[in-house]
Chain A
Amino acid sequence: MITFMNNSDSEDEPCNERTSLMSAESPPVPSYQDGLQASEAGEAQTHRKRQTGSSRSPNNVADGDVSDLGVRVRESALENEEEELTLKYGAKHVIMLFVPVTLCMIVVVATIKSVRFYTEKNGQLIYTPFSEDTPSVGQRLLNSVLNTIIMISVIVVMTVFLVVLYKYRCYKFIHGWLILSSLMLLFLFTYIYLGEVLKTYNVAMDYPTVILVIWNFGAVGMICIHWKGPLQLQQAYLIMISALMALVFIKYLPEWSAWVILGAISIYDLMAVLCPKGPLRMLVETAQERNEPIFPALIYSSAMIWTVGMAKQDTAARGPSQQTWDADARENHSSPSHSDSQISETRSPVPSHPITSLEELEEEERGVKLGLGDFIFYSVLVGKAAATPSGDWNTTLACFVAILIGLCLTLLLLAVFKKALPALPISITFGLIFYFSTDNLVRPFMDTLASHQLYI
């Protein structure tokens, strides 16, 4: 909130976004699970880390991609069974991810189409200093490329910074950073959003009510995300903050820069997750070595419930840090280490645990995790498509379908490769292709057809 480029919306979110799809399998735990845990092989997790940063400068957005390579095949003898179960549950995972991604996109598109604030040009972030109001096309292109370079380098720097912090065990710092940025998101941006929505619908609301609503919303959100809370509420909050973040991006990124940034970030994602020296990969490997969960708060998890549900029995076994990690950070986090530590902790003190709850445990463990940065960039793409001046819904719909198909394909690849994969490249590529082609090719065709009322 210090230096604003102009209007109030300065985003104080250094977001280390990491996208990766991880397929993790818990390593064999010596106590009894051989049969039970054989089926845990195909856990797919997608992580995207988004780190929220301190209030130094507007929009500290850093995207880092953490690729999680935690795949340890448990028992080779049961590999086939695992594969089959992977594929069977693969479909369930896909649906489990479709719903939140769709919800986030719906919120963003609905807001863009109705609240005019988010499509007005009110200045730019300091991360994109070059203006696009230039007379010539070449100049505009150059400016957008320069903007992209600046943005991506900020993201890379933030990611590397995070990895360094993690390597040197500065957990408190990271923790504080994340808390501060989610604080800002939950309070400031929600306040602005509420204000704009009320303005659009011309509804009056007095300040005491606003304070009450925002305070409750923010406080519950902080607790849910960083500590404990019902799974669905946590998921809902994560979706909401992703949508808010995406809206800020849509508002403050100029047209061409936004598209170039989307393209560049998916390339960066690809590299950071798959290259051996990529920051995200290093982060995940470090976390695995230390057998710790990487900050789970920056990840949308569809099945974290077991950590909360089992708490009653195993609170003694689990350290308080586990709880905070679970709810807290948005970092890509290797599922194997997570599930490792969880499983070893939960299983050893309770050897007489009834089989059913263990199965239940495993069922829920087999959730899918997708990083929040993925949500954000998907929503940015669809939102930008919805915000085009031509107001065409076909483009939005086409981008939506393209992104979902990309997500499907990525999950399929995940089931095949059983490695951490970046979730951005395929979806964003499809989305970009479909956006540009639908906007320029399909739109005139459909408009002409509609004007003659012809049907194909």
Chain B
Amino acid sequence: AFFWLVSLLLSSLIWFIAVKASNPHDEQLQKGLLIFGVMFSVLLQEAFRFLYYKLLRKAIEGLVALSEDGCSPISIQQMAYVAGVGFGLMSGAFSMINLLADALGPGTVGIHGDSQLYFLTSAFMTMVLIFLHTFWGILFFHGCESRRWWEIAAVVVMHLAVSGSTFCNPLYVGSLVPSYLLMAAAAAWAYLLSGGSAQNLRRFLLCK
């Protein structure tokens, strides 16, 4: 969570500088800067995820060295999951909390012509992003562990795609649907990577 926060900080710093340095009345430029800011932020987030991976790697080595039987009390997969959840929660919290605070206020959603489904779609989008961050954490760490760079690249591309799809808002079908599909794909992939299989799932569902 902390790492996500730092990445957000740096990316907003860049955006802020860019905005201050540019003409505030040029709408197109501002929009362009915003898009640039978003993309840059996504890249920074993934970079920080990588840094976090490096840090956790070192921590695991330390724990293994100190432990009695040569294996660390917490596995890298668990750490990947936790890292993903941390990122997701922080990103979700930052996206939603001001909205939630405003939701306690007067019921004037969409009064200026914006979509009336603002809160609902924001909630769904945030939820899908949190899940996605969790899955991306697992995929990313797995990719780093087994040195499969294409997995890491896939995570980055997926993140960019999801963020990019939000540019379609308020045409919500353009952003929510692809995001949910990507989430399903990432979920299945992460599940398989973590050692799950169709049999496990069936056994679990049938409570054997």
Interface size counted on chain A using CB atoms at 8 A: 31
Cβ of A393 within 8 Å of any chain B Cβ, yes or no, is yes
**The one of A391, A393, A453, A455 that contacts B118, using a Cβ cutoff of 8 Å:** A453
**The one of A84, A447, A454 that contacts B66, using a Cβ cutoff of 8 Å:** A84
Are A87 and B66 touching (Cβ within 8 A)? yes
Which chain A residues (57-86) contact chain B, with CB distance < 8 Å? 83-84
Which chain B residues (130-161) contact chain A, with CB distance < 8 Å? none
Chain A contacts of B8 at CB under 8 A?
Answer: 442, 456
Report the bound CA distance from A445 to B66 in whole Å: 44
Are A434 and B9 touching (Cβ within 8 A)? yes
Report the bound CA distance from A88 to B166 in whole Å: 44
Chain B contacts of A440 at CB under 8 A?
Answer: 16
Given contacts A445-B15, A454-B34, A455-B162, contact A437 B93 (CB under 8 A): no
Q: Chain B residue with minimal CB distance to A446?
A: B94
- Expressed in whole angstroms, the minimum distance between the Cβ of B119 and any Cβ of chain A is 11
Are A441 and B13 touching (Cβ within 8 A)? yes
Chain A contacts of B13 at CB under 8 A?
Answer: 437, 441
Report the bound CA distance from A100 to B93 in whole Å: 21
Chain B contacts of A401 at CB under 8 A?
Answer: 1-2, 5, 90
Are B34 and A449 touching (Cβ within 8 A)? yes
- Expressed in whole angstroms, the minimum distance between the Cβ of B67 and any Cβ of chain A is 7
Report the bound CA distance from A272 to B57 in whole Å: 36
Are B12 and A445 touching (Cβ within 8 A)? yes
| A-B contact number at CB 8 A | 88
Chain A contacts of B163 at CB under 8 A?
Answer: 454-456
Are B97 and A393 touching (Cβ within 8 A)? yes
Interface size counted on chain B using CB atoms at 8 A: 43
Are B99 and A450 touching (Cβ within 8 A)? yes
Which chain B residues (12-39) contact chain A, with CB distance < 8 Å? 12-13, 15-16, 19, 34, 37-38
Cβ of B83 within 8 Å of any chain A Cβ, yes or no, is no
Chain A contacts of B77 at CB under 8 A?
Answer: none
Given contacts A84-B67, A394-B94, contact A454 B166 (CB under 8 A): yes
Chain B contacts of A88 at CB under 8 A?
Answer: 73
**The one of A87, A441, A454, A456 that contacts B9, using a Cβ cutoff of 8 Å:** A441
Main secondary structure of the interface of B (DSSP, over half): helix
**Residue among A398, A453, A456 with max Cβ neighbours from chain B (10 Å):** A456
- Expressed in whole angstroms, the minimum distance between the Cβ of A201 and any Cβ of chain B is 15
Are B34 and A453 touching (Cβ within 8 A)? no
Q: Chain B residue with minimal CB distance to A391?
A: B101
Cβ of A314 within 8 Å of any chain B Cβ, yes or no, is no
Given contacts A84-B66, A392-B98, contact A454 B167 (CB under 8 A): yes
> Quick one: CB contact mask for B93-109 with A, threshold 8 Å, 1 for yes?
11101110100000000
Given contacts A402-B2, A454-B169, A455-B166, contact A397 B94 (CB under 8 A): yes
Q: Chain B residue with minimal CB distance to A394?
A: B94
Cβ of A121 within 8 Å of any chain B Cβ, yes or no, is no
Chain B contacts of A453 at CB under 8 A?
Answer: 118, 121-122, 125, 166, 169-170
Are B15 and A83 touching (Cβ within 8 A)? no
**Residue among B34, B99, B118 with max Cβ neighbours from chain A (10 Å):** B34
Report the bound CA distance from A421 to B89 in whole Å: 31
Report the bound CA distance from A87 to B12 in whole Å: 36
Report the bound CA distance from A440 to B20 in whole Å: 12
Are B2 and A444 touching (Cβ within 8 A)? no
Are B101 and A449 touching (Cβ within 8 A)? no
Are B95 and A450 touching (Cβ within 8 A)? yes
5 A-B residue contacts at CB 8 Å? A438-B9, A441-B16, A445-B16, A445-B37, A455-B129
Q: Supply 12 further A-B pairs (C-beta < 8 A) apart from A437-B13, A453-B166, A456-B42.
A: A83-B66, A84-B67, A394-B98, A398-B5, A402-B5, A434-B5, A446-B94, A453-B121, A453-B125, A455-B125, A456-B38, A456-B45
